Amino acid sequence: MTTVHPVRRPGTADALSPAGDERSPAGARADRARQIMGRTAPWLVRGVMVVAVLVFALLAVGPHVLGYRTMTMLTASMAPEIEPGDITVASPIAVSDVTEGMVITYHMPIDDGALVTHRVVSVEHAADGSVLVQTKGDANEAIDPWTARLEGDTAYEVRAVVPELGHLVTALRTPVVSQVLLYGAPLLLAAWVLLSIWRPTPTDDTAPEKEDQA
């Protein structure tokens, strides 16, 4: 009787039985962390870009297109309705429409004429058609020590408050952060584009390998 023995090709090795995963728990955790970062990093970049676009639209585009004004509250004179670091959004109204109880933004008639945002407590219409107002901060005990004449035909009434955004705006204006954004923003945008284009292609590691035919 003739016995036929299988002949191996030169250079081939015996197949080994599948072995268990010999990675240490630390290595497995590191792999898991890399997978999580790989999934969350693109969404994180997208989120930062969306927030940046919305802030730019609110502070830079909106005032030119819609005509409103934004201002960072620096003091607590209007707390708790408006806290330091909040951004106020004021829209234009006719000076003749200013009434008691409104929160308006106007130039103080003293010192350097800085902008102030306070509540109107009294309104007087002068004979020449101008409007004189007295205001008070909600957190202040006394009325502001001046009477302001609202110049022109338009006043600005506070319509909305964006909490805490002013802190971010102040931070962005510092020299160090400005330089970082100047060079970092283009890199962040490029990374976002690359992550959107070069998505990893899923692979199936469980597919059986093709066996050599003798």
pLDDT tens for each residue of 37-71: 667 766 776 777 777 778 777 877 888 888 899 99
Cβ–Cβ contacts within 10 Å for residue 168, how many? 16
- Which pLDDT score, from 0 to 100, does residue 6 have? 56
The pLDDT of residue 95 is above 90: yes
User: What is the distance between the alpha carbons of residues 47 and 55, in angstroms, rounded to a whole number?
Assistant: 12
- Which pLDDT score, from 0 to 100, does residue 9 have? 58
DSSP assignment letter at 78: T
Compute the average pLDDT of residues 20-46: 69
- Which pLDDT score, from 0 to 100, does residue 206 have? 47
- Which pLDDT score, from 0 to 100, does residue 147 have? 95
User: For 202-214, how does the pLDDT look when each residue is reduced to its tens digit (9 = 90+)?
Assistant: 554 444 454 444 4
The total of structural domains in the chain comes to: 2
- Which pLDDT score, from 0 to 100, does residue 63 have? 85
Say if residues 24 and 164 touch (Cβ distance below 8 Å): no
Residues constituting the chain: 214
Of residues 201, 211, 180, 168, the one with CA closest to residue 70:
168
Pair 173, 187 in one domain? yes
Boundaries of domain holding 58: 35-65+169-196
User: What is the distance between the alpha carbons of residues 119 and 101, in angstroms, rounded to a whole number?
Assistant: 6
- Which pLDDT score, from 0 to 100, does residue 11 have? 54
Pair 90, 112 in one domain? yes
Per-residue confidence at 136, pLDDT binned at 50, 70, 90? very high
The β-bridge relationship of strands 131-136 and 148-150 is antiparallel
User: For 183-194, how does the pLDDT look when each residue is reduced to its tens digit (9 = 90+)?
Assistant: 666 777 777 677
Pair 147, 75 in one domain? yes
Say if residues 95 and 152 touch (Cβ distance below 8 Å): yes
More confident residue, 52 or 73: 73
The pLDDT of residue 130 is above 80: yes
Pair 176, 150 in one domain? no
Q: Establish if 85 belongs to a structural domain.
A: yes
Q: Establish if 131 belongs to a structural domain.
A: yes
- Which pLDDT score, from 0 to 100, does residue 203 have? 52
- Which pLDDT score, from 0 to 100, does residue 22 have? 54
